Structure 1
Amino acid sequence: MHLALKALLTMIRKIHSLIVLLFWAVAVSTASAQSPLQPESPIRPDSPIRPGDRIAIVGNTFADQLRIHGYLETMLLQRWPDNPVSIRNLGWGGDMLNARDRPTNFPAEEETLSAHRTDVIIACFGMGESFAGEEGVQSFQAAVDAWIKSLEGKTYNGKSQVRLVLVSPIANEPLGKLTPRHEQRDREISAYSQAMSEVAIAAQVPFVDLYQTSRYLMDEPIGPNFTTNGIHLNSYGYWAMSHYLFRDLVRDDPAAVQPPWQILIDAADLTTQARGVDISDAARTEAGIKFRATELIAPTLPPPTSDDLPPQLHHLRDSMTITNLPPGIYELTVDDVSVATASHDDWARGVTIDASPAHQEAEAFRRAVNDKNLQFTYSWKALNQVHIVGERKKSPSGRALPAEVIEFNQLAQKRDAKLRDGIERQTRNWRVTRIH
């Protein structure tokens, strides 16, 4: 009886997860049907994230580590280049709603939220609290409810009440000996995610369910691990989860869920179709074809792994398909930069494109996002607290620290302003040449 019930619950969980991912697929299809050249649809007033929002991220290790990977922030910045968001990450490893200890004389969170003129807070909690077991769920629900109520009437931007978004913890990834209590821990995390969802629904606060999404992806045997120890995402995990978190944050704006680049070319008659780029001047060459591609949207950031991805994530990558090429091996170059090499059969099936000059510029932009976050961290969470409140407070370096903190904050603001320029979209020369 126990095994039958367990099998039924597992089936229900997978069906729910599939429904969640199908919703995203429908959203992508809806966005695909809209030409990037058409005006964007109006932003619904209840959209979790809106153009120009000043965002603060608070929470546990998941929140804290978002700042050093930069995928989510890069996607949000690229989404509205004419009115970009601005983000400050206040995450702190190990934070829980009722346990957020800070060093002596550390600035109050409200001060930082006000200084940033925060419009919306993205809160990531539940993982640390889940270690209290299922008997701690009710206390956690009460803490989430109390936290939401504590922010009622707060106007950090000086004009409107701060908006909230709640983000669940991820599932517990089964990693053999690294996760000896996997099933129990996963049940506990699931219970805390569900508890957060119930409070969010009651309070009419947007809720992002990363538990169900990550559980579904972790059950797929193909692809690298998402975490280092079952609960802390690695760089690949942050790449994948950031895509789904982004899509939930802009879910009420169908035009915001822009699908990756997709280029389709028939080498026989040079007919073309494209999404994300505009193709022109297609022509044959002695050993292949050439054309010009004008970038309409920013390229998709490549995953930080060379391993095969699970099928559920293939739709997150830019690709090009060329049919009717004569047999042979063909190299793609973009502005004379080698991007991909594949056989005519592989090109006919579709080849991932994520090493073009535009992709390299997108990666450089992500590194700039990470650098901005580093400067802010130095200004907000100075690494050597002994110089602030400890025995070296009156030393030359201790006396110099306040001025240095101010300078780091100014550096963060300058880098933030530079990020508003976004990634320049260009027209580039693409060439596919037979090399064997």
Structure 2
Amino acid sequence: MLTRPVPRNSAGASLVLRNFLYAWLVLVSISSTARGIEPQWIWNDPAAGTKAAAGKVYFRREFELPKLKSASAIITADNRFQLIVNGTSVASGDSWNQLNQVDLTKHLQVGVNVVAIEAGNDGADPAGLVFKLTATPESGAPVEIVSDAGFSCTDRPSRGWAAPKFEAPGWKPAAVLGGFGKIAPWGAVSAIVPVTAEAPAKAAHREEGHFQFRDGDRVVLLGGTFIERMQTCDFFEAIVTTALPHLNLKFRNLGWSGDTVWGDSRGVFGSRSDGFKRLLGDVKIANPTVILVAYGENEAYEGAAGLSDFEAGLETLLSELEKTGARIVLVAPRKHEVPPSGAPSPENYNADLVTYAAAMQAIARERGAAYVSLLDANPGEKLTENGLHFTFAGQLAIGRSLAKQLGVPVVDRSIEISATPRTLHAQGLSLSEVQIAPEKVAMKVTERTLPLVAASTWRSGIVTAEPGVDPKPEELTPTMLTIKGLAAGRYRVTLGGKETSQFSADELSRGVKLVDPDTFAQSYGMLATMRQKNELFFHRHRPQNETYLFLFRKHEQGNNAVEIPQFDPLIEESEAAIRSQLVPRTRDLVIEAISPAGK
């Protein structure tokens, strides 16, 4: 719990005020449900009503049901929850003072059912969970399941914890803190007053990419070589950032070549445990709200014999990452391509990789995390330079696939105009002050999002545009311009007062690529700044002279370690520059005849 209307230890008049404010928050002209069995506030610590450790606690309860007519539940938690019913994530929330009502009719079944709840406390302060299920059978009395000591709990879940018929050794009965509406610090509300959830399926963690970026997200990319190489050409970051400019997103790349779920590559001169500790320390520096976990590619070389070690390592890693409170996405790697002549075939490796990806998907499902797969992304296309390392064009293709699976909208830009009769259609842009005539079309054009410089302009991570050289059509994600009904002849296209191209009326009627040198420069600048930011963060979490700063030679230059956090303001400056480069611009677009037919 982070904020409340009044201090939680208020007494007398303050307590009356606190309870009044709470009632005012939840009594929003919604009728009260029947009292029935009262739910209890529960947690894993009987003192949680006063103070509980920050982190997650996992609750579950199995029960049997007959055939139902309907079923619904109310739930809230201080600070947040994710509700999983029979292995399916159905709802989440992060407002302790709002009860969420969820229709569970289609999620329950005849026979054994399980309700599993992942609850989180954001700070070392009070924590609690309250839940009530009301099921109406086709015949007989309603069945009520409420949060009480009948729920079991743990802070260290194992695989399958949210599924029915799970053996739960080490789990203990939930600690009952007090009746709902009857104990501090959550207020004395005499009746349960549910608030209908608008979209109960909008859980923070959903399988198969049911995921949504949020304003202010700090996105950590965690993995091996694939992730590390994104630092110099991160089209994924660029695609997401430009497609969602209204969200203040920040990205941190924590890739490390050859790394595994155990942090093997990060141990430097130490052991596997040192590497794992370093991995978690790097994540802490990044302070994420979203973590994309892209492991499995290196581990799959061990084949079937290494699968159990990978699963155990991934479970251990996720349990630690969940303590950050970040939403987690598991990313299965792409299969290897057929390598250059003479190299071994990847057929057996790819078969093992499919098995490892299936394990990742199963673990994601059980933990309520999102899962996306790059296994078969862009089948048949050659995206690598040697069978496994992506070219820049490959990075662009994979970035698009990953972004699409995470629900990032694909932005296409087009302008379609008919001079006779006069019609107008635009996609991905806003048009104003439009003038249409048989020999001239003029308007103001505002891009809704910044187009991207294409991969063909990148070499060794550096854009190769020369000053004063106009971009080619293939160097930018273009706007398609189609104008029908113009008088025959040739036409000059002017954008922002600069002539960009010339086309015949026939070419314009079939559609042409509208290239904007100013937008190219703006997009180029954003990508270059993004690369600079990634390099600065690389030095922040992985300085080249760390042996002298932090390890066994720190007695020589360890005093210089104080300079490492000084990268932070530089990174923030780069991010501010990226934000400024995302601002859409408005330009005058004029298409006018320069050589009408017959002249």
TM-score, reference length from structure 2 = 0.55
Quick one: which amino acid aligns to residue 362 of structure 1?
S
SS in 1 for 2:481: strand
CA drift of 1:83 comes to 3.7
The question of whether the paired residues in 1 share the 8 Å contact of 2:340 and 2:386 is answered with: no
Provide the rounded CA distance (Å) in 1 between the counterparts of 2:222 and 2:372.
14
Q: Which residue of 2 aligns with 1:366?
A: 527
Provide the rounded CA distance (Å) in 1 between the counterparts of 2:332 and 2:355.
11
The question of whether the paired residues in 1 share the 8 Å contact of 2:215 and 2:248 is answered with: yes
Q: Which residue of 2 aligns with 1:139?
A: 309
CA drift of 1:385 comes to 4.0
More displaced 10-residue stretch of structure 1: 103-112 or 71-80: 103-112
Equivalent of residue 588 in structure 2, options 413, 429, 435:
429
1:402 equivalent to 2:402? Answer: no
CA drift of 1:321 comes to 2.1
The question of whether the paired residues in 2 share the 8 Å contact of 1:70 and 1:367 is answered with: no
Provide the rounded CA distance (Å) in 2 between the counterparts of 1:79 and 1:92.
27
CA drift of 1:188 comes to 2.9
Equivalent of residue 357 in structure 2, options 176, 190, 193:
193
CA drift of 1:60 comes to 0.8
CA drift of 1:92 comes to 0.8
The question of whether the paired residues in 2 share the 8 Å contact of 1:55 and 1:122 is answered with: yes
Provide the rounded CA distance (Å) in 2 between the counterparts of 1:189 and 1:338.
52
Q: How many residues align?
A: 367
Q: Which residue of 1 aligns with 2:445?
A: 293
Q: 1:317 to 1:187 in 2, by over 3 A?
A: farther
Matches within 5 A, 1:262-277: 262-277=414-429
Q: 1:340 to 1:100 in 2, by over 3 A?
A: farther
Q: 1:278 to 1:409 in 2, by over 3 A?
A: closer
CA drift of 1:218 comes to 3.6
SS in 2 for 1:243: helix
Equivalent of residue 110 in structure 1, options 275, 280, 284:
280
SS in 1 for 2:416: strand
Amino-acid identity (%): 23
Query: What do residues 17-39 of structure 1 show as CA deviations (whole Å, max 9, x unaligned)?
Result: xxxxxxxxxxxxxxxxxxxxxxx
Provide the rounded CA distance (Å) in 1 between the counterparts of 2:361 and 2:478.
30
Query: What do residues 338-362 of structure 1 show as CA deviations (whole Å, max 9, x unaligned)?
Result: 5455554443333334544234312
Equivalent of residue 455 in structure 2, options 301, 304, 307:
304
1:210 equivalent to 2:374? Answer: yes
Q: Which residue of 2 aligns with 1:27?
A: none
Q: Which residue of 2 aligns with 1:3?
A: none
Q: Which residue of 2 aligns with 1:44?
A: 202
The question of whether the paired residues in 1 share the 8 Å contact of 2:523 and 2:581 is answered with: no
Q: Which residue of 2 aligns with 1:335?
A: 496
Provide the rounded CA distance (Å) in 1 between the counterparts of 2:387 and 2:594.
45
Provide the rounded CA distance (Å) in 1 between the counterparts of 2:349 and 2:359.
15
Q: Which residue of 2 aligns with 1:323?
A: 484
Q: Which residue of 2 aligns with 1:96?
A: 260
1:125 equivalent to 2:295? Answer: yes
Provide the rounded CA distance (Å) in 2 between the counterparts of 1:59 and 1:164.
13
Gaps of 5+ in 2: 1-197, 205-210, 458-473
CA drift of 1:335 comes to 0.9
TM-score, reference length from structure 1 = 0.73
Q: 1:209 to 1:388 in 2, by over 3 A?
A: same
SS in 1 for 2:255: coil
CA drift of 1:58 comes to 0.8
Provide the rounded CA distance (Å) in 2 between the counterparts of 1:192 and 1:432.
55
Provide the rounded CA distance (Å) in 2 between the counterparts of 1:207 and 1:123.
9
The question of whether the paired residues in 2 share the 8 Å contact of 1:288 and 1:434 is answered with: yes
The question of whether the paired residues in 2 share the 8 Å contact of 1:77 and 1:422 is answered with: no
SS in 2 for 1:352: strand
Q: Which residue of 1 aligns with 2:326?
A: 162
CA drift of 1:125 comes to 0.8
The question of whether the paired residues in 1 share the 8 Å contact of 2:267 and 2:278 is answered with: no
Provide the rounded CA distance (Å) in 1 between the counterparts of 2:338 and 2:574.
39
Query: What do residues 381-414 of structure 1 show as CA deviations (whole Å, max 9, x unaligned)?
Result: 112345436897566xx46742442322331133
Provide the rounded CA distance (Å) in 2 between the counterparts of 1:144 and 1:129.
11
Q: Which residue of 1 aligns with 2:186?
A: none
Q: Which residue of 1 aligns with 2:541?
A: 380
Q: 1:322 to 1:118 in 2, by over 3 A?
A: same
Query: What do residues 309-340 of structure 1 show as CA deviations (whole Å, max 9, x unaligned)?
Result: xxxx9xx7542222234555555332134545
Q: 1:335 to 1:228 in 2, by over 3 A?
A: same
Structure that is richer in helix per residue: 1
SS in 2 for 1:281: strand
- C-alpha RMSD of matched pairs (Å): 3.3
Q: 1:324 to 1:361 in 2, by over 3 A?
A: same
Gaps of 5+ in 1: 1-40, 156-160, 307-312
Quick one: which amino acid aligns to residue 431 of structure 1?
V
Provide the rounded CA distance (Å) in 2 between the counterparts of 1:276 and 1:125.
35
4+ residue runs over 6 A deviation: none
Q: Which residue of 1 aligns with 2:11?
A: none
Q: 1:190 to 1:347 in 2, by over 3 A?
A: farther
The question of whether the paired residues in 2 share the 8 Å contact of 1:321 and 1:347 is answered with: yes
User: Looking at both structures, which has the greater relative contact order when contacts are Cα pairs under 8 Å and sequence separation is at least 6?
Assistant: 1
1:411 equivalent to 2:563? Answer: no
